[in-house]
Amino acid sequence: MTLYAVPAQEAAAAPSGIGTHARASALIDVESGRLLYSSNGDTSMRIASLTKIMTAIVAIEHGHLSDTVKVSKRAVGKEGSSIYLKLGEEMSLSNMLYGLMLRSGNDAATAIAEHVGGSEEGFVYLMNQKAQELGLVNSHFMNPHGLDEEGHYSSANDLAKLTAYALKNKAFAEIVGTKQKSAPNPHEKWDYRWHNKNKMLSMYEGADGVKTGYTKKALRCLVSSATRNGQKLAAVTINDGDDWADHRRLLDWGFRHYPLRAIVNKGDNIAGYPYAVGQHFYYPLEDSEAGSIHTALHLIDPLTTAYALGERGSLVISLGDRKLGSVPVYEQGSIRLKLQERTDRSNIR
């Protein structure tokens, strides 16, 4: 099933009956970017190691997974959670990212930042640049690990949008969905063996990510994701003493109330025209919203390059007065209707 991604939308006028123990929370449909639930979602807060979601995606996009990362004195001396790297140790960026996301290694975060960004400060610049690119208006990063620092913060809604973006990267998704990883250990006869701290991977059906976090000031933070029936949701809680249970409830609620619905399917004929829809379009909708979906056909100039390549226009899909997205339109029987759709944004090198 192919999904059509659209920009993150405001949280829906959600059905009643859901809440958490968190100071802030959010739930997002990953492919469409629709915020299905948000409570205090735009408030900037300390986020502990949820920071490493940004660290990982920036490292994947700017680095090479096969690179060799050398551990500096600054990395070895980093306080907090660690994968116990030693000074001068060398490890592939790929394995370093597993140590970062499964065991929340602050030493790994620092080593990755210095390698990819040239310095920790240079990497933090890339993190904030990415935040700006993604429209994370309530986020600012001061370090790659999430240790408490003034000026380092994000919000539940921003983390939901960031996670939805990152999960579309194959390398990122594979790492955060891994329960256990082994890596060569140059200092011992045995390999490193890292077990993922994210208990959701074992306690929730379909769970496939993402990251735990804790500091004395941020308290318990969690981002989790799960996939059911071709739909992926991601939940965020910040400062939540009952996060495992809250995430199970949030995800269950989202899958139950906002299932993916087929708005149009590739090959559907357009009434009154010799045209057909060129791409599937699915969107998470609550029952009462189904009747508010409408479509409008926009034809293109026959003198354009797109027309010469077979496109005849686009079908714009809206929910009420809000545009959700559009799909291309071709002539019925066009060879373009037989081509495989591509939504791959991975950056594996």
Catalytic residue among 39, 52, 94, 161: 52
Which of the four pLDDT bands, split at 50, 70 and 90, describes residue 348? very low
- Nearest CA to 261 out of 288, 229, 283, 236 is that of 283
Identify any residues that bridge with 314 across adjacent strands, giving them in sequence order.
298, 328
| Residue 92 backbone phi and psi in degrees, to 5 | -65, 150
pLDDT bin (cut points 50, 70, 90) of residue 74 is: very high
Q: Active-site residue 49, yes or no?
A: yes
Q: What is the mean pLDDT of residues 335-344?
A: 72
Does the global pTM surpass 0.75? yes
User: Shortest CA distance to 337 belongs to which of 274, 251, 245, 260?
Assistant: 274
Catalytic one among 94, 104, 224, 225? 104
Contact 76, 87 (CB under 8 A): yes
User: Would you give the DSSP letter of residue 341?
Assistant: P
Mean of pLDDT over the chain: 93
pLDDT digit string (tens) for 23-56?
999 999 999 999 999 999 999 999 999 999 999 9
Q: Give the tokens for residue 206.
A: 């379909």
Q: How confident is the model at residue 12 (pLDDT cuts 50, 70, 90)?
A: low
Check if the beta carbon of residue 264 is closer than 8 Å to that of residue 280: yes
Nearest to 7 by CA among 26, 24, 28, 27: 28
- What is the greatest pairwise CA distance in the chain? 72
Burial label, 261 (beta-carbon count in 10 A; 0-12, 13-18, 19+): middle
Cis amide prior to 6 (ω within 30 degrees) = no
When pLDDT is averaged across residues 215-221 and rounded to a whole number, the result is 97
Tens digit of each residue's pLDDT (9 = 90 or more) over 125-182 = 999 999 999 999 999 999 999 999 999 999 999 999 999 999 999 999 999 999 999 9
Helix/strand/coil (H, E, C) string of 102-158?
Answer: HHCCHHHHHHHHHHHHCCHHHHHHHHHHHHHHCCCCCCECCCCCCCCCCCCEECHHH
Backbone angles phi, psi at 191, to 5 degrees: -80, 160
Contact present, 34 and 8 (Cβ < 8 Å): yes
pLDDT tens digits, 266-290? 999 999 999 999 999 999 999 999 8
Flag whether pLDDT at 346 surpasses 50: no
Spot the catalytic one: 25, 39, 49, 139: 49
Question: What pLDDT shows up at residue 2?
Answer: 37
Residue 347: per-residue pLDDT? 32
pLDDT of 303 above 60: yes
Out of 9-13, 24-28, 183-187, 310-314, pick the least confident.
9-13
Identify whether 104 is a catalytic site residue. Answer: yes
Residues forming beta bridges with residue 261, ordered by sequence position: 283
288 is catalytic: no
pLDDT over 70 for what percent of the chain? 93
Q: Is the pLDDT of residue 64 over 90?
A: yes
Q: Residue 40: what are its φ and ψ, rounded to 5°?
A: 55, 35
